[in-house]
Amino acid sequence: MRRAVITGTGMHVPPRVVTNADLEKVMDTTAEWIQQRTGIRERHHVDPGTGPADLACEAARRALEMAGLEPDQLDAILVASLSPHHDFPGISAFLQERLGVDNGCPAMDIRCQCTGFIYALQVANLFVASGQYERVLLCGAEVHSTGLDMTTRGRDVAVIFGDGAGAVILEPSPDPDRGVLSVHTHAQGKHARKLWVEAPGSVYAPRISAEMIEEGRHFPYMDGRFVFKHAVSRMPQVVHEALEHNALSVEDVELFLFHQANLRINEAVGQRLGVAPERIYSNIERYGNCSAASIPMLLDECVRAGRLEPGRLVGMAGFGSGFTWGSALLRW
Among 35, 108, 228, 237, binds ligand UT7 (CB under 6 A): 228
Tell me: does residue 29 bind ligand UT7 (CB under 6 A): yes
Phi and psi (nearest 5°) for 173?
Answer: -85, 130
Interface region with ligand UT7, contact rule CB under 6 A, candidates 43-51, 56-64, 155-163, 213-221: 155-163
Does the annotation count 259 as an active-site position? yes
Which candidate, 304, 246, 250, 256, places its Cα nearest to that of 279?
256
Contacts of 282 (CB under 8 A, 6+ apart): 39, 258, 260, 263, 266, 298
The residue annotated as part of the active site, out of 125, 266, 283, 289, is: 289
Taking CB under 6 A as the criterion, the residue among 60, 80, 101, 159 binding ligand UT7 is: 159
Residues 69-108 within binding reach of ligand UT7 (CB under 6 A): none
77: three-class secondary structure by DSSP: strand
Q: How many helices (H) and strands (E) does the chain have?
A: 11, 14
Q: Which is nearer to ligand UT7, 257 or 313 (CB)?
A: 257
Check residue 155 for interaction with ligand UT7 (CB under 6 A): yes
- Output 96 or 327, the one with its CB closest to ligand UT7: 327
Active-site option among 144, 184, 186, 259: 259
**What gap in Å lies between CA 138 and CA 66, rounded to an integer?**
14
Q: Max CA-CA distance within the chain?
A: 58
Q: Per-residue string for binding with ligand UT7, 33-52, x by CB under 6 A? A: xx--xx--------------
Closer to ligand UT7 at the Cβ: 66 or 231?
231
Q: Does 227 help bind ligand UT7 (rule: CB under 6 A)?
A: yes
**Which residue from 49, 114, 106, 108 is spatially nearest to 76, judged by alpha carbons?**
106
Whole-number minimum distance, CB 30 to ligand UT7, in Å?
A: 6
Please tell me whether the peptide bond between 174 and the residue prior to it is cis, using omega within 30 degrees of 0. Answer: no
DSSP state letters, 194-219: GEE---S-TTSSSSS-HHHHHHTTTS
- Smaller CB distance to ligand UT7: residue 53 or 263? 263
Cα dihedral 268, 312, 74, 96 in deg (nearest 10) = 20
| Active centre residues (catalytic) | 114, 259, 289
What residue ranges bind ligand UT7 (CB under 6 A)?
29, 33-34, 37-38, 114, 155-156, 159-160, 224-225, 227-228, 231, 261-262, 265, 289, 320
